[in-house]
Amino acid sequence: MSMSFVFGIFGGIITLLLLMAFFLLKGKGEFLIAGYNTMNEEKRALYDKEALCRFVGWLLIVFSFAMALISVGLFLDVLWLTYCGSVFILVGSIGAIIYANTGKRFHRRDNDIKMSRIVGNKNSKDMSKTVKLLTIAISVIVLISVGGVLYYGTAVPVVEIFEDSLQIKAMYGVTIDFSDIAAVSLIEKSMSEIGIGSRVNGYGGFGGVLKGHFKSDNLGETLLFVNANSAPTIRIERNNEKDVYINFSNSEQTEILFNNLITAIT
């Protein structure tokens, strides 16, 4: 799975949130708010539907903006943008819950007395509870999405050697037939020392992990599965394809892979 596919998912989620926000900011789309749409007509009449919709709409915009910051930060390898997006989600969630639970924000002004007489204190908190659950649900979805990308991106590649091929299971994973390999060498340097170049379509930045397609003046186009600061590094030269570089944080593990690969090929 490539980062382009991952960012496509992020883009789809952001687009969906913005479309929902568009309707809610117009005071419509209350059917999108879980909890409110299950209330009976008597309880609904006690709340300001337009105010609730606008509040949830702005909340969705904040989360969309936060997700956009996180996505751009991951793509451009600008960590502070990713951190800012995460802070927006945290602060927005806490702020929304506090706001919804104070001051009877969504009660109709002309129904405050009626509210206390008919539904009592427990039911007067139904709406704030709805907003709280909605906020938590959106936050969890966003954070799980971000966490999934980070986990998958930083996960150690799984390398399997078969009778006639090498398979690298990771983000931007690849299967290399032995017949396509021109040479395999072990370079006693880290990828940072060899020369990373610039990222074309890949993952990088967190913990020095680099995966995907890169390009540099001295190496040309490459496919990396490396920890940028770890040495040694295995170079797999391919016929008419990008050279592949791979290593692990544990140098011994890299050397074992190199020896096993040489044995399998020869």
Q: Which of 100, 125, 154 is the last residue of a domain?
A: 154
Q: Which of 154, 184, 204 is the last residue of a domain?
A: 154
Q: Contacts from 93-100 at CB under 8 Å and sequence distance 24+?
A: 93/135, 93/136, 93/139, 96/55, 96/59, 96/131, 96/132, 96/135, 97/131, 97/132, 97/135, 97/136, 99/55, 100/55, 100/127, 100/128, 100/131, 100/132, 100/135
Asked if residue 70 has pLDDT above 90, the reply is no
Closest C-alpha to 160, from 142, 175, 178, 143 = 175
Asked if residue 198 has pLDDT above 80, the reply is yes
Q: Do 179 and 102 share a structural domain?
A: no
**In terms of pLDDT, which residue wins out, 129 or 84?**
84
Asked if residue 204 has pLDDT above 80, the reply is no
Which residues are CB-contacts of 162 (< 8 A; sequence separation ≥ 6)? none
Asked if residue 85 has pLDDT above 90, the reply is no
**In terms of pLDDT, which residue wins out, 94 or 45?**
94
Q: Do 31 and 148 share a structural domain?
A: yes
- Mean pLDDT throughout 3-32? 76
In the block, residue with structure tokens 């009976």: 40
Q: To the nearest whole number, what is the mean pLDDT of the chain?
A: 79
Closest C-alpha to 1, from 196, 168, 166 = 168
Domain count, the chain: 2
**What's the domain range around 39?**
3-154
Give tens-digit pLDDT for 21-53: 888 888 776 666 655 555 666 666 666 777 778
Q: Do 119 and 35 share a structural domain?
A: yes
**In terms of pLDDT, which residue wins out, 224 or 30?**
224
Q: Do 167 and 97 share a structural domain?
A: no
Closest C-alpha to 99, from 64, 62, 56 = 56
Q: Do 120 and 192 share a structural domain?
A: no
Asked if residue 125 has pLDDT above 70, the reply is no
> Which pTM value belongs to this model?
0.60
Asked if residue 6 has pLDDT above 50, the reply is yes
Asked if residue 224 has pLDDT above 50, the reply is yes
Q: Can you give the pLDDT at residue 86?
A: 78
Confidence category of residue 116, pLDDT binned at 50, 70, 90 = very low
**In terms of pLDDT, which residue wins out, 239 or 50?**
239
Q: Do 140 and 167 share a structural domain?
A: no
Other C-beta atoms lying within 10 Å of the C-beta of residue 203? 25
